[in-house]
Structure 1
Amino acid sequence: MPSSVACACVCSMVQQCCSTSYETASGRCILNKRTSPETETADNSNVMMKIPDSISNHQPKDCSDLPPCTKSGVFEIYPDGTNKIDLYCDMDTAGGGWTVAVGPMGNDNLHILTKARNYVMRFEMQDFENNTAYAEEYQSFRVNNEASKYTVSFTGYMGTAGNGFENNNGMKFTTRDRDNDLHMYHCGLGQQGAWWYNACSQSTLNGIYKPEGTTGAKIIYWKTWRNTTLKATGMKIRPIN
């Protein structure tokens, strides 16, 4: 699909976007704000929404600002209204509108995002038998600034994985070269992964990827759900209101 083609909803084998243009070169969905779309059937029998040429640029502060019909993909996000970052938007899980906290989403960007709105953080995990679970710290999830060493705060919990993040409330972010946890040892070095450790916590999604069944410290784990290493995990945020 050419990068110059504007689409609202295009059903095809390539990246699907709603009210966007798809750039094949970058793999990004370029969002535009348009009105009064018209339905048209393309030559290959796919359904396309034609949109008037009159547009105004829309700069979403997070993925919840995207139109409800938007398909999941990588979008340009403006967390503070000025600086632009490319982030993956999950528009399918639990109603969509989730900003995925991976890749270029560092603690600085999490701070910029979470200071502006009341957010929920959703932790997702999958074991090697493809069972899944989630944990949501569901009110006022915040990552403070660098001066606070990215202290995390939140209230409440809901989910199916158990609250493996409960003891991390109020903790600073620990890395291999910055020991900010409460343990007599260095959790970030011992676990070999950065996290908001307490001493040393019931969870870390930044451990080392290990084979199925591996136990111990240097793994990806969420101990209130599984005692062994996890196959896949995810972190994403969405405003509550």
Structure 2
Amino acid sequence: MVFGHCECQPTCNIPQNTTRCISSCDATESCICADGFLIKGNDCVSPNECGCYAPELYTEILNGDSFVNFKCSEKCTCNDDQLHCNSNFECSPNATCKIENGVRNCYCNEGYQGNGEICSPLPTDCYDAYEAGHGDNGVYTILPSGWPGSPFKVSCVMSTNGGGWTVFQRRTDGVTDFYQNWTSYRYGFGSLEGEFWLGNEHLHYLTNQKNYTLRIDIVTSEGSSVYDEYLYFRISNESNKFRIDNIGTHNGTAGNGMYNSGGYLFSTYDQDNDGCGNHQCAKVHRGAWWYANDWCPKCLNRHCHNFRYNSTCSGQCTASNLNGEYNGGNGENIFWANDYSYCNLIFTEMKIRPFEH
């Protein structure tokens, strides 16, 4: 140490005498570190004695921390107060050397995932993620083939029914209002951890990249669990009103509630595509769906899904209304009917998985 004016002295943590430096005294004469030395605790040391001093950062880094140089051509890591540098470090061809949140590193480009040194393409659906070793149910980021936007998050069912299912609809408790307009159904709404509709735009790109099985899991108002599967499911684009282009062979225990949905257009209360004239199925059933015009001129009152609670009866547009009102009245509730009449369902989940693996 030397005797001098104590002002703002550089330390191992803040070695540059800048405005970031914290003054330890008030410009009085006292013992200070000589030029070229830094404060470490109560001692004056050379920069090389600061432990893991990072010259690129002009500071000391902690054990376990790393940094890369400005070209991302070298990576240094602090272990046991010693700096170990790898001069063979390089970014993946699918990564970019840049600063994010104040940290320079290799970052995977959009559409890829990894640590920057290794970047692999994002999965195109939940089955891709499942095949890559992800076995937990939850939210994953995917990028379907041909999708024109940024990667997006989906809910994946990995632990049941063979795993790898991409969920696009779920009803559990009625917290989310499903009586939404065309735009909401186009882009999606709700929470992936709870009730949601993924979005018809997403569903179109998903179902047109591979051949998919559609599975609908249902818990009835009596608490019974049933399901239906359709071997081939594909949705057209918005120009074709998100029509169901294909819905194939049926298998399951729920009664084939979508037997008459193939080839029909999607309708919401503000976009009537059901072909029933002034009889607006989305309003009648208080939902949004691929409503059929097979029965719209008829007035039936056999089952809870055929008539509304505030009128004597109204035409049935569909055998299924999974986006209807939770605990709704007759005709407006969530129902799945054909061989059976399941009304006011307490749980539904619609999901897809490739059937050509």
TM-score by length of 2: 0.50
Query: Does 2:189 align with 1:189?
Result: no
Q: 1:97 aligns with which of 164, 171, 192?
A: 164
Question: Which has the larger Rg?
Answer: 2
Query: Does 2:208 align with 1:151?
Result: no
Gaps of 5+ in 2: 1-111, 170-195, 294-316
Query: Does 2:191 align with 1:126?
Result: no
Residues 221, 343 of structure 2: 8 Å contact kept: no
Query: Does 2:352 align with 1:237?
Result: yes
Structure 1 stretch displaced more, 103-112 or 194-203: 103-112
Deviation sequence 1:17-70 (CA, Å, 0-9, x none): xxxxxxxxxxxxxx9679xxxxxxxxxxxxxxxxxx964334000000012452
SS of the aligned residue for 1:192 comes to: coil
Query: Does 2:252 align with 1:137?
Result: no
Aligned partner of 1:201 in structure 2 is 318
The AA in structure 1 aligned to 2:243 is T
Query: Does 2:145 align with 1:71?
Result: no
Query: Does 2:174 align with 1:57?
Result: no
Deviation at 1:105, TM superposition (A): 1.7
Deviation sequence 1:74-112 (CA, Å, 0-9, x none): 011111366311111100221000001033621111111
The AA in structure 2 aligned to 1:177 is D
Deviation sequence 1:189-229 (CA, Å, 0-9, x none): 11110000103110010000117xx6x20000001333421
SS of the aligned residue for 2:343 comes to: coil
CA distance in 2, matches of 1:97, 1:164: 24
Deviation sequence 1:114-136 (CA, Å, 0-9, x none): 11100111111101332111111
Distance of aligned partners of 1:70 and 1:175 in 2 relative to their CA distance in 1, 3 Å threshold: same
Residues 125, 230 of structure 1: 8 Å contact kept: yes
Residues 85, 104 of structure 1: 8 Å contact kept: no
SS of the aligned residue for 1:95 comes to: coil
TM-score by length of 1: 0.72
The AA in structure 2 aligned to 1:175 is T
Gaps of 5+ in 1: 1-30, 35-52
CA distance in 1, matches of 2:221, 2:137: 25
Distance of aligned partners of 1:150 and 1:81 in 2 relative to their CA distance in 1, 3 Å threshold: closer
Deviation sequence 1:146-202 (CA, Å, 0-9, x none): 000000022211111111101010000010111111334111011110000103110
Runs of 4+ with deviation above 4 angstroms: 31-34
Distance of aligned partners of 1:165 and 1:230 in 2 relative to their CA distance in 1, 3 Å threshold: same
Q: 2:154 aligns with which of 87, 95, 103?
A: 87
CA RMSD, 1 decimal: 2.2
SS of the aligned residue for 1:100 comes to: strand
Higher relative contact order (CA 8 A, sep 6+): 1
Percent sequence identity is 38
The AA in structure 1 aligned to 2:218 is M
Number of equivalences: 189
Distance of aligned partners of 1:70 and 1:58 in 2 relative to their CA distance in 1, 3 Å threshold: farther
SS of the aligned residue for 1:92 comes to: coil
Distance of aligned partners of 1:176 and 1:217 in 2 relative to their CA distance in 1, 3 Å threshold: same
Distance of aligned partners of 1:183 and 1:148 in 2 relative to their CA distance in 1, 3 Å threshold: same
